[in-house]
Structure 1
Amino acid sequence: MSKVDEIEHDEEQVEGDLTTVFGDDKGKDPASSLAKMLSILDLFTQANPRWSTNDIIDYLGTSRSTGYRYIKGLHAVGLLAAVGNGFYMLGPRIVELDLRIRECDPLYIASKGVLEQLVDATGHSALLCMLYSNSVLCIREHLAPFSPENMFSRGQRRPLFKGAMSKVILSYLPPHRLRSIYAKNPSKVADAKLGNNWDDFRETLGKIRKDGYVMTLGEFNPNVYGVGAPVFNEEKLIIGSIGVAWQKEELPEVDVAKTILAVKRAAREITNRMMSGTGGMALPPRAVG
């Protein structure tokens, strides 16, 4: 079988699988049905790691037959695991996919060795984040001894308006995108002390761009300082940030200027690797709205 035949066969198989899962969703957009099915995965949290079949179907608001079919489809591909008595939890396929993305994500690959060097240079725990939808997602961390508790860690998301890692990304978004963000979130912008109107907001972000970094205190964890600097792709568009964090009580012993310089250098190194193709491919910025 040729490569083209294999691809066509795979496409037919996927089409058949989708027909099996969405077979009686007559008149519905398959993409909408798929999104509905995948939304089941968002239910599972640390506070609620197991969900019953009935509760999942109640959440979906679909017919029981459709709900059962969605659950069965996710279970069949390993995204859900049955744990007895009609309960489910997240499945082992997610662990496998996490390994694959670590092996394939250009930004993750471009950061190899950089976070470790940053921890060695500053003595503080280091983080790597990426722009994701209307939020910031941590994709990698390297912890220093006695690092702050509840550190931002891989897989966690935070809003664009709080924390050094978020604010530095926000400041480099295109002007038209910033206008849209401000129009939808003026109260959040004000709460984050980024400005009480559009002109203040624009001026605050302009200062961040001029400085090339953000430093914050206690915006998520009380008494924790954070410093973040921007990371760009080969088209010089913002895709993420790198930074460090330390306890407020350590401040008298911290060379803040040296720490900021180390973070900015780390950001430049990852950006240079992205621009040179070390990450493996061009990585576009994730959509923000």
Structure 2
Amino acid sequence: MKNILITGATGNVGFEVIRFLTKINSSNHIIAGVRSLSKAKNVFKEFSNIAFTHFDFEDVNTFDDALNGIDSVFLLRPPHISDIETYFKPLILKIKEKHVNQIVFLSVQGVEKSKVIPHYKIEQLILDHGLDYSFLRPSYFMQNLTTTLINDIKTKREIILPAGEAKFNWIDVQNIAEVAAIILDKFDVFKNQAIELTGLENKNFANVTNLINNIIAEPISYKNVNPIKFYRIKKREGMVSGMIIVMVLLHFLPRFQKEPKISDFYERLTGKKPTDLKTFITRERALFEPK
């Protein structure tokens, strides 16, 4: 039996990882690392076999207790945290000090070619400290449409990005979480590997906008802007600078890169096809409607 700490437990990915771990029905003990215990207990009220611990990426004082007795950590980067030296280095040092030797880190596809993005720096921290790892490198989340981009969709009926005509590979967070749960459960099989995880479709934002418009009642449009204008728009809206810069890097750099490679890892591991965009948009249709 392993004690598995899930960081970002109440977020989209963390919640789904816990859901799939409970479906595996293994003997592992799942601990949700959360900032608010009361909120988390409400989020997971239908899950009876989960423990909770206070964990906050921005509070180093929570690391020690949260990592006591932990064997494996599912680690992700909260979108608003871009200062890796300040927030992740102390965490990796504490993980090493606590002899936690299994890290499944949610990275990003193509990280090895983009040394300026935070995920690369986190991978390097893990490697530099000699920890056993599995780097899960998924492509572009379908759920970005229903989280990071949803306010513009609902209020402006636009997707506003500096992405041009760049093609992104689209993957459902549920597919990512299912793979992460399997890797956490059978870590030794995937130890010290970097695993690319993709869906089956490479599409640009104009393509995706058309797909959405074929399903919803009130259409949206895609507005391509240059990075400086994007920065100014988001700064006026109150988004923190670090998150804006990461969004620029993730959406602008692909304009100068080759079309994403498609991996069959999900299908080989699960025996199923990954979710396609039409299925995802239909499933989340209500979220795309205006306020």
TM-score by length of 2: 0.25
Q: Radius of gyration: which is bigger? A: 1
Flag the structure with more relative contact order, 1 or 2, with Cα contacts below 8 A and sequence separation at least 6: 2
TM-score by length of 1: 0.25
